[in-house]
Structure 1
């Protein structure tokens, strides 16, 4: 039985429910990462005894599942960028613009991960079974309905998700490195410049040398957007192939 299927205990003098527990856990993770989250710390924030939480959540892994589903509600925008709507409000049904749907999923996931950096540590795990995760998955697959068979649609979504997960983890890792070293990306590049110049001058890395001297340096958002368009182009090419090829 999943945490979503298990009934909550009756109310007691100090009001408590899974929604309050999850909000407190998300706040702790936003402040200090997943390592800052424990049932004891969540209970302390709610002024409740730690043992009371076990009536609602059996393990820390269940708490992480609930936290992940909570922030998945922020992923898919409705209207202008930044105008989020809870995932259960997403339409699911007739065939839609699959590229726009996957584009929204990718950029919405990145925006959410930058608000909640700990999300990067939970992406790519087991399928999301919470209501928001299921709603996002339904809306995304529904957009591909009518364009291809269900297996191809699933592989397309998996391919986009794999790119998004990798790109987000890389970006978040860099943000964490900046905080750990106290150096921005530009400051780190300047500090590392003399070493890199000496290494490239050996002639052992000609391709890297061309990339450093002739390549265009872009910010994380631009890099993410370009890579995503390439992935969506590949999906479009696959969808254009006749069935069975």
Structure 2
């Protein structure tokens, strides 16, 4: 009989007792998240993280075996910031809206998380993500959805897709050295010129609030998704 290979996920192997109270898995993950927020996924390595923690490779690998494991832990830790609906929430749309908006806010604070969600191994095994999904499924089940799993998948696909695009845009803004309004005004100049406006006249874009525009795009799109899901409810 062939020997079963271990499941490649940090959530499927036992943790080891820390030898040094100064270094533990929680400390490693917290510092990794700080590095990811500051410089992105490309800048994170086990070597750099060890140097930042003043810890040797052996000490690090005793708690986290690989960078893939570290990313699984970091993703789930960040998702613990998302506000999840109570199982007994009275209005399913309000509860789902609140959860989706909390997910978006969390992902914008940590712009690497959406990209990593689809790559971090078996991230869905993490306790925070598993709890979020379970709460949403319970809510939709109690509401009357015959297929709450598919409904949750649709909600996650929308939220992750929209937030990934938004995070990429905000990264572009940050690298440009301009404000979001200034960069948006530059992109809008050619169409304005084609319609007879002076390209140097910024009054046409001065009243634009990019943050409000992004908020409305997310909320309006989410409403469409929820409208579609509502048609699956029994009359």
- Structure 2 CA distance, aligned partners of 1:194 and 1:110? 29
- Structure 1 CA distance, aligned partners of 2:106 and 2:156? 14
Q: Determine the structure 1 residue equivalent to 2:102.
A: 108
1:57 pairs with 2:52? no
- Structure 2 CA distance, aligned partners of 1:136 and 1:31? 26
1:15 pairs with 2:22? yes
Indicate conservation of the 8 Å contact 1:72/1:132, yes or no: yes
Number of corresponding residues:
214
Cα gap change, 1:127 to 1:9, in 2 (>3 Å): closer
* Residue of 227, 230, 234 corresponding to 1:236: 230
Indicate conservation of the 8 Å contact 1:102/1:140, yes or no: yes
Once the two structures are TM-superposed, the CA of residue 65 in structure 1 deviates from its matched residue by 0.6
When normalised by structure 1's length, the TM-score is: 0.76
* Residue of 176, 183, 199 corresponding to 1:181: 176
RMSD: 2.7
Once the two structures are TM-superposed, the CA of residue 174 in structure 1 deviates from its matched residue by 1.1
User: Aligned to 1:180, what secondary structure does the other structure show?
Assistant: helix
- Structure 2 CA distance, aligned partners of 1:26 and 1:146? 36
Runs of 5+ consecutive residues of structure 2 not aligned to the other structure: 1-6, 197-204
Q: Determine the structure 2 residue equivalent to 1:84.
A: none
1:47 pairs with 2:37? no
- Structure 1 CA distance, aligned partners of 2:152 and 2:69? 25
1:159 pairs with 2:154? yes
Indicate conservation of the 8 Å contact 1:96/1:143, yes or no: no
User: Aligned to 1:55, what secondary structure does the other structure show?
Assistant: helix
Cα gap change, 1:223 to 1:91, in 2 (>3 Å): closer
Indicate conservation of the 8 Å contact 1:106/1:164, yes or no: yes
- Structure 1 CA distance, aligned partners of 2:160 and 2:20? 42
- Structure 1 CA distance, aligned partners of 2:214 and 2:184? 15
Cα gap change, 1:193 to 1:149, in 2 (>3 Å): closer
User: Aligned to 2:111, what secondary structure does the other structure show?
Assistant: coil
Once the two structures are TM-superposed, the CA of residue 3 in structure 1 deviates from its matched residue by 1.4
Q: Deviations over 1:117-161 (max 9, x none)?
A: 1112123455511111111111110001133455x2111111111
Q: Determine the structure 1 residue equivalent to 2:140.
A: 144
